[in-house]
Structures are given as C-alpha cells and as structure tokens.
Chain A
Amino acid sequence: MKNTWIIAKRDLGSFFSSPVFYSVTTVFLILYGIVFFILLNSFSFASFQTHQLRGADIGLNLNEMVIEPSFQQMAVILLFIIPLITMRSFAEEKKSKTFALLLSSPVRLEEIILGKFLACMIVISLMMLLSGYSIGYLVFAGQPEIGPILTGYLGIFLMTGCYVSMGLFASSLTDNQIIAAVIGFGIALFIWFIGWGAQAAGPELGQILEYLSLITHLQHFLKGLIDSSDLAYYLSFILFGLFLTHRVLESSRWR
C-alpha cells in the first residue's frame, strides 16, 4: 500500500507540472459551466413562466430540472476528458523507458497499477471539486434535496472509476499517448452505445445490454438510490479493467 502511494504521489506531481492537466481541466470547467448555465437559465425561465401563469409559486423541482441533467451532462463530458488524463499513465513510462525503474524496484505490478489508478482518480476528483461551485450555489440559493446530490456524486465518482480503469487498460496497450487516448475513447463510446442499443434490441438482449451499459446504472444514483446491484456493477467493471491492464503489462514483459 505504501508503494502504491509513492507511485501515485509521483504521478500527481507530474500531472500538476504538465500543461495537459491544466488545459484539460480548463476545457472541462468551461464545458460544464456552459451546460450548467443553460440548465439554470431554462429553469428560471420555466419557473418565471409558471409563476406568471398560475399566479402562485408552486416550486419547480430543482433536483429534476437542473441537478440531475447537469450530472448526466457531466458524465458525457467526462467520457471525453478522462482518456486524456489516463493516456500517459503507462504509455509515457514505456516511451521514456522509465518503466524499467518501476519494474526493477521491489514493487508489485498490482501496486504500480493501483498507484496510477489512484493518481488519476485524485486528479479527476479535483476537477469535479472545482466544478462543485455550481451545486454549491444551488444549495445556497435554492432548496434542493441533498440526498440525490450526494448519491449523484457517488455515482459519477464510480463511473469515473470505470472510465479510468478503461483508460489505463488502453494506455497499457501502447507506448504512444495519442493511440492510448484514441483507444480509450473507443472503448468508452462503445460501452456508451451498448446502452443506446439496448432500446433497439429485443426484450431479452435488451435487458442484458441495459445491464451492461454504464449510464443505466447512473440513473438510480441520480434519483437518490443506492442499489447494491449498481454498486456491484461499477466495482466489478473497475476491477475487470484493472485486471486486463495487469494481464497486458505482465504479458508484454514476456515478449
């Protein structure tokens, strides 16, 4: 565990000294800011209208109209942002031959992978924290339900874990960061499409596809529900991605 943290700490240092991190964070914050602004605007417009129409303040649901969709949009933005964060994890180490330092040190491959995972998770959590001004403002200015906000963040966090473990897998396949990012997008979009295809497929296949889709499982969290099957899905997804990463790195040593 100590080794995991040593590796994570170094990776964090290199994130914070790289322009990639700052540009990705800026883009993320701008995109999310726009989404939030639009949602908030249409909400106030709608509530202004209902106010005028009915003459009384019946209170539109802030959770349903702003918070829920803003989490959904955040999930989409993250899909594009996270491969850019994970791409360098192994690709860069392989390219600059620094992987030899890790491999010749008394550190397990599992610890290396977990260290990278941890570093990426911390970086993305930081980005989400910076975007938290939006929800913070709503909590301050309106009266949203706090429960769904907390479970929503938990869901997004778990989903981020899935993206990161896919991204790490992509990065383990190559020593080229761009290729790692492209493969990362590819896998993430593919899994996204599974959920979309579920609606078109027949009832049985549809159910399976829907279970496999990342986004379906997010819905419950956004509604304020923590379902053990959703938790199990996300956690096993993450573990599976890390397991594949491990297999790839281990077998590449044998070649």
Chain B
Amino acid sequence: MIEVEQLSKSYGPREAIRNLSFQIEKGEVVGFLGPNGAGKSTTMNILSCIMPASSGSVKICGFDVFEQSLETRKLIGYLPETPPLYSDMVASDYLTFAARLRNVPSRKARSAVEQVIEKCSLKDVSNRVIGRLSKGYQQRVGIAQALIHDPDILILDEPTIGLDPIQIIEIRKLIQDLASSHTIILSSHILPEITQICKRVIIISEGEIVAVDSLESLTTRLRNGERLILKVRRSDGETIEKLRALDQTNAVVEQETGQFTIDCEPNANIQDAIAKLALDNNWGIVELKPASMTLEDIFLKLTLEENEVKP
C-alpha cells in the first residue's frame, strides 16, 4: 500500500531524514515514534504530498507521490502537526469547505460533514467560530477534516495532543474503529497510546530508522535480562544493601520508599532468594513481580543506543 524507499530530505544544508525505507500494508495501523526533531513530521509531510523529498521515492497504492501527486492526494486524509484551521471560519463551514476541496460532491458534502461531526463529537461547537474554540476542540476539528472524505489512508501527526484524558480515550477508540477499514499512520509522544493502538512501530531517531517491528517482537527482542519490582511495608537503609548483596542482581534502585526495581541476569529465578530475604528480615512483602519492559524503555534504549554507536 505504502512503499517508501531511500527517502531523504534536507532543509538547506540540514539533513532532516536520511535513507528511510519501510513498507506499510493495507489495513495496518503503524505508529511513528521518535524524539523531538527526529523527522516524523517531515516524513509525514512528504507522504501527504505537502513537499517533495530531496531523494528517494514514495509509492502509495502504486502512485508515485511526486509524479502522480493529484491521484495520491485523493487517497489520503492528513492531519498536520499544526491543524490547518481557518480561525475566522465556523466549524461546520470549514468542514464543508474541506469536503468540497477533497472532491466530495456538493450534494454529499452535507451528510459527510454531519458524519464527522458525530464521529469527533463536535455537535456542541459546530456553529462556533474555530478561532474561539479550545485547543482540544480545535484538534478535533483538525481530525474531522482529515476524515471528511473517508480516505483509504489516514496520516495523523500527533492526533491526541492537547486533548483531555476522556477525549484521548475517545479519539483512540475512534482510531481503533477506523483501523478496521483504513490504513493509518500516526505519530505520537504518548507511548502507551502507540502500544494500545498500533500493531507495528517505526522508531526513528535523528532522521534514521532504528527499528521497524511489531510491538511484541520488539519487547521480547529487547528483554535481555529481567527486571523485578519489589514492594515492602518496612524498609530501612540496609534493605537496598542486602538486595544488592544477593547473587545475580545487577542493579537495584529504590523508586520510592519501600519500592525497588531489581535488574538481574536473564533466567536468574531469584524470586525465591528475595522472598526468603524479606521473610528473614521481616520486611513484609506487599508485591513481588516481573516488570514488563514498557515501550518507553524500549524507545529510550533504542534511541540512546543509536547515539552511543555514533562517533
């Protein structure tokens, strides 16, 4: 569906992305992950024909985004990093304009607008001027604009930024609903969000891809070594020392009083030893469990490793 090959883009002398190659199949939901300035928005701008790349090629449904740009644009709904909103327009007029611009015939425009208003829960504000809406509602109008022509491909640059927690959940649900019938690429800083919505992530850092993989395999691939979380009722200064003194522990960190994370060798099975230690010292175990490595850890690990390798 989307084939990106050797994509590079320079802003003057500054290289924003370098030789990105990846593929996205029809119906996939792919998360785009990377620290600030990694080149996520740049890549998304190129995919949605806002600007051409310096080199490389992008094919969307067989259309080249540079050469057959008009055909490609029909297939895409795009929410840029800054929602492209005319602040002097009434929300529903704006959506009608977006619909007409995206080739929705005028007699269908009205129902298209009503549908997205419903989907993005904009009913209360549809008659208000966009410039006076709160940031979250503006973001929703931006999302509505990307959905208006029911495109095959949705490209959403940080769709949930500025929304309240309830809205975030709603928009996530909306994206999950859309996932059944659309191909979706989204970037986000909120890492759990990617875990929830996306099956696959593309992690980029400083303009280069550091990982393209499904979430599960990323998690397993990176779990070299185990981490345990121990919570106890009573702890003193010696607790941490005693834990460190155990065989096979690499690092012990006290997160807050009475809560420790213990990194140990792979397959160490030291739960017994820890439990025994706790009983002997009468700490009162509240919890002892393996910590699953979050995407956040993976993300940090990958992007930091990448930097260490560099000269």
* Chain A residues near B (Cβ < 8 Å): 3, 6-7, 10, 13-14, 17-18, 96-108, 253-255
Contact = CB atoms under 8 A, between A and B. Distances in A.
Q: Which of A14, A17, A96 has the most CB of B within 10 A?
A: A96
Interface of B: 11-12, 45, 48-52, 70-71, 73-74, 76, 78, 80, 82-89, 93, 97-98, 100-103, 145
A101 B98 contact: yes
6 contacts: A6-B97, A17-B88, A96-B86, A97-B84, A100-B50, A104-B73
Given A106-B74, A255-B12, A100 B101 contact: no
B107 to A, nearest CB: 14
Contact of B102 (A7, A10, A14, A105): A105
A253 B87 CA distance: 24
A10 B102 CA distance: 14
A120 B83 CA distance: 26
A17 B94 CA distance: 14
A254 B88 CA distance: 29
A108 B45 CA distance: 17
Contacts of A104: 48-50, 73, 76, 78, 80
B264 to A, nearest CB: 50
B78 A106 contact: no
Q: Which of A3, A102, A105, A254 has the most CB of B within 10 A?
A: A105
A101 B93 CA distance: 15
A13 B89 CA distance: 8
Given A17-B88, A105-B73, A254 B100 contact: no
Given A96-B85, A97-B80, A108-B70, A102 B101 contact: yes
Contacts of B82: 97, 100
Given A6-B100, A102-B101, A255 B11 contact: yes
